[in-house]
Structure 1
Amino acid sequence: MNNCNFCQQIKAEEILLETSYFKVVFEINPVQAGHLLIMSKTHIMDIREMSDEILFDLIKLEQKCVSKISETLEVDGVTIAENNGSIMDKGTHCHVHVIPRYKNDRFWDNQNVLPHEIDILKLKENLQKI
Protein backbone atom coordinates (compact mmCIF):
# COMPACT_ATOMS: atom_id res chain seq x y z
CA MET A 1 0.00 0.00 0.00
CA ASN A 2 2.80 2.46 0.75
CA ASN A 3 3.80 2.40 -2.96
CA CYS A 4 0.30 3.38 -4.08
CA ASN A 5 0.25 6.55 -6.20
CA PHE A 6 -3.38 7.18 -5.24
CA CYS A 7 -2.66 6.94 -1.52
CA GLN A 8 0.65 8.80 -1.49
CA GLN A 9 1.09 11.06 -4.50
CA ILE A 10 -2.15 12.98 -5.08
CA LYS A 11 -1.58 16.59 -4.08
CA ALA A 12 -4.36 18.61 -2.42
CA GLU A 13 -4.36 21.14 -5.27
CA GLU A 14 -5.06 18.32 -7.78
CA ILE A 15 -8.32 17.33 -6.07
CA LEU A 16 -11.32 18.74 -7.91
CA LEU A 17 -14.03 17.32 -5.68
CA GLU A 18 -14.19 15.01 -2.71
CA THR A 19 -16.59 13.21 -0.42
CA SER A 20 -16.08 11.34 2.82
CA TYR A 21 -14.78 8.31 0.92
CA PHE A 22 -13.57 9.50 -2.49
CA LYS A 23 -11.60 12.15 -4.32
CA VAL A 24 -11.84 13.23 -7.96
CA VAL A 25 -8.92 14.36 -10.12
CA PHE A 26 -8.25 14.79 -13.81
CA GLU A 27 -6.88 11.61 -15.42
CA ILE A 28 -3.17 12.08 -16.21
CA ASN A 29 -3.51 10.19 -19.53
CA PRO A 30 -6.99 11.25 -20.64
CA VAL A 31 -8.90 9.41 -23.34
CA GLN A 32 -10.84 12.65 -23.91
CA ALA A 33 -10.53 16.19 -22.53
CA GLY A 34 -12.37 16.36 -19.20
CA HIS A 35 -11.65 12.68 -18.37
CA LEU A 36 -12.01 12.34 -14.58
CA LEU A 37 -10.73 9.74 -12.15
CA ILE A 38 -12.59 8.86 -8.96
CA MET A 39 -10.46 7.06 -6.39
CA SER A 40 -11.15 5.91 -2.87
CA LYS A 41 -9.39 7.73 -0.05
CA THR A 42 -8.49 4.40 1.54
CA HIS A 43 -6.58 1.64 -0.20
CA ILE A 44 -9.45 -0.47 -1.55
CA MET A 45 -8.45 -2.92 -4.28
CA ASP A 46 -11.89 -4.18 -5.30
CA ILE A 47 -15.49 -2.97 -5.32
CA ARG A 48 -16.43 -6.08 -3.34
CA GLU A 49 -14.52 -4.64 -0.36
CA MET A 50 -16.82 -1.60 -0.19
CA SER A 51 -19.59 -1.33 2.36
CA ASP A 52 -23.07 -0.27 1.25
CA GLU A 53 -22.39 3.21 2.63
CA ILE A 54 -19.21 3.56 0.54
CA LEU A 55 -20.94 2.17 -2.55
CA PHE A 56 -23.78 4.64 -2.19
CA ASP A 57 -21.27 7.48 -1.84
CA LEU A 58 -19.52 6.29 -5.02
CA ILE A 59 -22.67 6.11 -7.15
CA LYS A 60 -23.84 9.52 -5.92
CA LEU A 61 -20.40 10.96 -6.76
CA GLU A 62 -20.51 9.36 -10.23
CA GLN A 63 -23.94 10.96 -10.73
CA LYS A 64 -22.57 14.34 -9.63
CA CYS A 65 -19.57 14.09 -11.98
CA VAL A 66 -21.78 13.12 -14.93
CA SER A 67 -24.08 16.06 -14.14
CA LYS A 68 -21.20 18.55 -13.93
CA ILE A 69 -19.65 17.29 -17.17
CA SER A 70 -23.02 17.50 -18.92
CA GLU A 71 -23.74 20.99 -17.57
CA THR A 72 -20.28 22.33 -18.43
CA LEU A 73 -19.36 20.66 -21.72
CA GLU A 74 -21.43 20.07 -24.83
CA VAL A 75 -21.18 16.28 -24.56
CA ASP A 76 -23.49 13.63 -25.96
CA GLY A 77 -22.95 11.34 -23.00
CA VAL A 78 -20.48 9.92 -20.50
CA THR A 79 -18.86 6.51 -20.19
CA ILE A 80 -18.03 5.16 -16.75
CA ALA A 81 -15.43 2.40 -16.44
CA GLU A 82 -14.23 0.92 -13.14
CA ASN A 83 -10.95 -0.90 -12.49
CA ASN A 84 -10.70 -3.57 -9.80
CA GLY A 85 -8.27 -6.24 -8.65
CA SER A 86 -4.84 -7.29 -9.83
CA ILE A 87 -5.41 -6.20 -13.45
CA MET A 88 -4.87 -2.55 -12.49
CA ASP A 89 -1.66 -0.64 -13.10
CA LYS A 90 0.95 -1.07 -10.40
CA GLY A 91 0.79 1.71 -7.83
CA THR A 92 -3.00 2.17 -7.98
CA HIS A 93 -6.11 0.86 -6.27
CA CYS A 94 -9.81 0.60 -7.17
CA HIS A 95 -10.84 3.59 -9.29
CA VAL A 96 -13.50 4.81 -11.71
CA HIS A 97 -12.97 6.60 -15.02
CA VAL A 98 -15.61 9.17 -15.98
CA ILE A 99 -15.10 9.97 -19.65
CA PRO A 100 -16.91 12.66 -21.66
CA ARG A 101 -18.30 11.22 -24.91
CA TYR A 102 -19.36 12.57 -28.28
CA LYS A 103 -21.24 10.95 -31.14
CA ASN A 104 -18.80 9.44 -33.62
CA ASP A 105 -15.84 9.94 -31.23
CA ARG A 106 -14.56 6.45 -32.16
CA PHE A 107 -14.20 5.59 -28.46
CA TRP A 108 -14.73 1.87 -29.02
CA ASP A 109 -12.68 1.75 -32.25
CA ASN A 110 -9.42 1.70 -30.30
CA GLN A 111 -10.32 -1.34 -28.21
CA ASN A 112 -8.00 -4.19 -29.15
CA VAL A 113 -8.74 -6.82 -26.51
CA LEU A 114 -7.48 -10.37 -26.81
CA PRO A 115 -10.59 -12.56 -26.41
CA HIS A 116 -10.64 -15.34 -23.81
CA GLU A 117 -12.93 -18.35 -23.93
CA ILE A 118 -15.36 -18.49 -21.00
CA ASP A 119 -18.20 -20.71 -19.89
CA ILE A 120 -21.00 -18.28 -20.75
CA LEU A 121 -23.71 -20.69 -19.56
CA LYS A 122 -22.08 -20.99 -16.12
CA LEU A 123 -21.96 -17.19 -15.87
CA LYS A 124 -25.62 -16.95 -16.91
CA GLU A 125 -26.62 -19.51 -14.27
CA ASN A 126 -24.69 -17.72 -11.54
CA LEU A 127 -26.18 -14.36 -12.48
CA GLN A 128 -29.68 -15.79 -12.36
CA LYS A 129 -29.05 -17.00 -8.78
CA ILE A 130 -28.66 -13.44 -7.50
Structure 2
Amino acid sequence: MAGFLEKYKKDLLESLSAGEKKRFTYVKHRRQHPHLHPECKFCRKIKANKDILLENRHIVVMFGRQHHKGHILVMPKAHEEDLLKLHQETVDSFMNDTMHVMKALGKAIKPDLFNLEYLDNWDHHIHWNIYPRFRKDKDWGNPPVIPLKGQKFKENPLTKKELAVFKKELSRLKKELW
Protein backbone atom coordinates (compact mmCIF):
# COMPACT_ATOMS: atom_id res chain seq x y z
CA MET A 1 0.00 0.00 0.00
CA ALA A 2 2.82 2.44 0.88
CA GLY A 3 4.40 1.89 -2.56
CA PHE A 4 1.09 2.67 -4.25
CA LEU A 5 0.71 5.93 -2.29
CA GLU A 6 4.26 7.03 -3.10
CA LYS A 7 3.69 6.31 -6.82
CA TYR A 8 0.35 8.16 -6.70
CA LYS A 9 1.99 11.17 -5.03
CA LYS A 10 4.82 11.14 -7.60
CA ASP A 11 2.36 10.92 -10.53
CA LEU A 12 0.27 13.71 -9.01
CA LEU A 13 3.30 15.98 -8.59
CA GLU A 14 4.38 15.36 -12.18
CA SER A 15 0.93 16.35 -13.44
CA LEU A 16 0.86 19.67 -11.57
CA SER A 17 1.67 22.99 -13.21
CA ALA A 18 4.65 24.97 -11.90
CA GLY A 19 2.34 27.20 -9.84
CA GLU A 20 0.50 24.21 -8.37
CA LYS A 21 3.82 22.53 -7.49
CA LYS A 22 4.94 25.71 -5.78
CA ARG A 23 1.72 25.79 -3.74
CA PHE A 24 1.99 22.07 -2.90
CA THR A 25 5.59 22.55 -1.71
CA TYR A 26 4.54 25.59 0.32
CA VAL A 27 1.69 23.69 2.04
CA LYS A 28 4.00 20.75 2.80
CA HIS A 29 6.62 23.15 4.20
CA ARG A 30 4.03 24.97 6.34
CA ARG A 31 3.06 21.66 7.96
CA GLN A 32 6.71 20.98 8.87
CA HIS A 33 7.60 24.60 9.80
CA PRO A 34 4.29 26.34 10.46
CA HIS A 35 5.76 29.79 11.06
CA LEU A 36 8.28 29.98 8.21
CA HIS A 37 7.88 30.57 4.47
CA PRO A 38 10.08 28.43 2.19
CA GLU A 39 10.78 31.23 -0.30
CA CYS A 40 11.56 33.96 2.22
CA LYS A 41 15.27 34.73 2.60
CA PHE A 42 14.77 35.74 6.24
CA CYS A 43 12.84 32.55 7.07
CA ARG A 44 15.65 30.50 5.49
CA LYS A 45 18.20 32.31 7.67
CA ILE A 46 16.05 31.79 10.77
CA LYS A 47 15.61 28.08 9.99
CA ALA A 48 19.36 27.67 9.40
CA ASN A 49 20.15 29.80 12.47
CA LYS A 50 22.34 31.90 10.15
CA ASP A 51 23.54 35.42 10.97
CA ILE A 52 21.32 35.66 14.06
CA LEU A 53 22.64 37.96 16.77
CA LEU A 54 19.74 37.54 19.18
CA GLU A 55 16.40 35.82 19.30
CA ASN A 56 13.62 35.37 21.77
CA ARG A 57 10.19 33.79 21.45
CA HIS A 58 8.97 36.59 19.20
CA ILE A 59 11.81 38.29 17.34
CA VAL A 60 15.11 37.71 15.58
CA VAL A 61 17.89 40.29 15.31
CA MET A 62 20.54 40.19 12.60
CA PHE A 63 22.88 42.59 10.86
CA GLY A 64 21.64 44.20 7.68
CA ARG A 65 23.89 45.21 4.83
CA GLN A 66 26.51 47.46 6.37
CA HIS A 67 26.19 50.42 3.99
CA HIS A 68 25.48 52.34 7.19
CA LYS A 69 27.51 51.38 10.24
CA GLY A 70 25.47 49.21 12.59
CA HIS A 71 22.52 48.61 10.23
CA ILE A 72 20.38 46.08 12.11
CA LEU A 73 17.26 44.13 11.15
CA VAL A 74 14.63 43.24 13.74
CA MET A 75 11.88 40.91 12.60
CA PRO A 76 9.22 38.59 13.97
CA LYS A 77 10.35 34.99 14.15
CA ALA A 78 7.18 33.89 12.40
CA HIS A 79 6.73 34.86 8.76
CA GLU A 80 4.35 37.80 8.74
CA GLU A 81 3.75 39.95 5.68
CA ASP A 82 1.45 42.76 6.79
CA LEU A 83 2.13 44.90 9.83
CA LEU A 84 -1.42 46.26 9.72
CA LYS A 85 -2.92 42.78 10.10
CA LEU A 86 -0.96 41.82 13.21
CA HIS A 87 -2.70 41.52 16.55
CA GLN A 88 -2.09 44.67 18.63
CA GLU A 89 -0.28 42.71 21.35
CA THR A 90 2.17 41.39 18.74
CA VAL A 91 2.76 44.89 17.37
CA ASP A 92 3.38 46.24 20.89
CA SER A 93 5.84 43.46 21.68
CA PHE A 94 7.59 43.89 18.31
CA MET A 95 8.03 47.64 18.85
CA ASN A 96 9.10 47.21 22.48
CA ASP A 97 11.72 44.60 21.54
CA THR A 98 12.92 46.84 18.69
CA MET A 99 13.40 49.76 21.08
CA HIS A 100 15.49 47.60 23.44
CA VAL A 101 17.72 46.48 20.56
CA MET A 102 18.16 50.13 19.51
CA LYS A 103 19.23 51.03 23.05
CA ALA A 104 21.77 48.19 23.09
CA LEU A 105 23.18 49.30 19.74
CA GLY A 106 23.27 52.90 20.97
CA LYS A 107 25.42 51.93 23.95
CA ALA A 108 27.84 50.15 21.62
CA ILE A 109 28.37 52.76 18.90
CA LYS A 110 26.97 56.02 20.32
CA PRO A 111 25.12 57.37 17.26
CA ASP A 112 23.68 60.88 17.19
CA LEU A 113 20.25 59.41 16.44
CA PHE A 114 18.51 56.50 14.71
CA ASN A 115 16.42 56.15 11.59
CA LEU A 116 13.86 53.37 11.71
CA GLU A 117 12.56 52.13 8.37
CA TYR A 118 9.87 49.67 7.32
CA LEU A 119 9.89 48.72 3.62
CA ASP A 120 6.94 46.48 2.88
CA ASN A 121 7.63 46.08 -0.82
CA TRP A 122 11.22 44.90 -0.79
CA ASP A 123 11.25 41.78 1.40
CA HIS A 124 7.89 40.30 2.31
CA HIS A 125 8.79 39.44 5.89
CA ILE A 126 7.94 42.26 8.26
CA HIS A 127 11.11 43.81 9.60
CA TRP A 128 12.50 47.07 10.87
CA ASN A 129 15.71 48.44 9.42
CA ILE A 130 17.54 50.28 12.18
CA TYR A 131 20.08 52.78 10.91
CA PRO A 132 22.34 54.43 13.49
CA ARG A 133 23.01 57.94 12.18
CA PHE A 134 26.05 60.10 12.73
CA ARG A 135 26.46 63.80 12.00
CA LYS A 136 29.49 62.93 9.87
CA ASP A 137 27.35 60.74 7.52
CA LYS A 138 27.45 62.10 3.97
CA ASP A 139 23.64 61.81 3.85
CA TRP A 140 23.08 63.37 7.30
CA GLY A 141 19.77 65.22 7.48
CA ASN A 142 18.20 63.01 4.82
CA PRO A 143 16.85 59.47 4.79
CA PRO A 144 19.68 56.95 4.54
CA VAL A 145 20.83 56.30 0.99
CA ILE A 146 20.17 52.61 0.44
CA PRO A 147 21.96 50.70 -2.32
CA LEU A 148 19.61 48.86 -4.64
CA LYS A 149 19.59 45.06 -4.61
CA GLY A 150 22.78 43.85 -6.24
CA GLN A 151 24.36 47.32 -6.21
CA LYS A 152 27.88 47.44 -4.79
CA PHE A 153 28.57 49.59 -1.76
CA LYS A 154 31.42 50.28 0.66
CA GLU A 155 30.90 48.29 3.84
CA ASN A 156 31.13 50.13 7.13
CA PRO A 157 31.08 47.39 9.79
CA LEU A 158 31.34 47.78 13.53
CA THR A 159 34.82 47.64 15.01
CA LYS A 160 35.72 44.60 17.09
CA LYS A 161 35.32 46.66 20.26
CA GLU A 162 31.90 48.01 19.19
CA LEU A 163 30.75 44.53 18.23
CA ALA A 164 31.87 43.15 21.60
CA VAL A 165 29.96 45.88 23.48
CA PHE A 166 26.86 45.34 21.32
CA LYS A 167 26.90 41.57 21.88
CA LYS A 168 27.41 42.12 25.61
CA GLU A 169 24.39 44.46 25.68
CA LEU A 170 22.28 41.98 23.71
CA SER A 171 23.28 39.24 26.14
CA ARG A 172 22.28 41.46 29.05
CA LEU A 173 18.95 42.19 27.35
CA LYS A 174 18.26 38.51 26.87
CA LYS A 175 18.91 37.79 30.55
CA GLU A 176 16.96 40.75 31.92
CA LEU A 177 14.00 40.90 29.58
CA TRP A 178 13.49 37.56 27.90
Instruction: Confirm or deny a common fold (TM above 0.5).
Output: yes
Q: Pick from 126, 150, 161 the counterpart of residue 94 of structure 1.
A: 126
Aligned partner of 2:69 in structure 1 is 33
Corresponding residue SS for 2:39: coil
In the alignment, is the contact (CA less than 8 A) between 2:45 and 2:51 conserved in 1? no
- Distance in 2 (CA, whole Å) between partners of 1:5 and 1:80 is 21
Residue 79 (structure 2) pairs with residue 43 (structure 1): yes
Residue 34 (structure 2) pairs with residue 2 (structure 1): no
Unpaired runs of at least 5, structure 2: 1-36, 147-178
Deviation at 1:49, TM superposition (A): 2.0
- Distance in 2 (CA, whole Å) between partners of 1:13 and 1:6 is 9
In percent, how many aligned pairs have the same letter?
24
- Distance in 2 (CA, whole Å) between partners of 1:36 and 1:77 is 14
Unpaired runs of at least 5, structure 1: 112-130
RMSD across aligned positions (CA): 2.0
- Distance in 1 (CA, whole Å) between partners of 2:41 and 2:112 is 32
Residue 97 (structure 2) pairs with residue 61 (structure 1): yes
- Distance in 2 (CA, whole Å) between partners of 1:54 and 1:24 is 16
Aligned partner of 1:23 in structure 2 is 60
Corresponding residue SS for 2:81: coil
Name the structure where helix makes up a greater proportion of residues: 2
Report the structure number with the largest CA radius of gyration: 2
- Distance in 1 (CA, whole Å) between partners of 2:61 and 2:96 is 13
- Distance in 1 (CA, whole Å) between partners of 2:53 and 2:45 is 15
- Distance in 1 (CA, whole Å) between partners of 2:108 and 2:62 is 16
1:50 is matched by which residue type in structure 2?
L
Corresponding residue SS for 1:31: coil
Deviation at 1:16, TM superposition (A): 1.2
Deviation at 1:25, TM superposition (A): 0.2
In the alignment, is the contact (CA less than 8 A) between 2:59 and 2:75 conserved in 1? yes
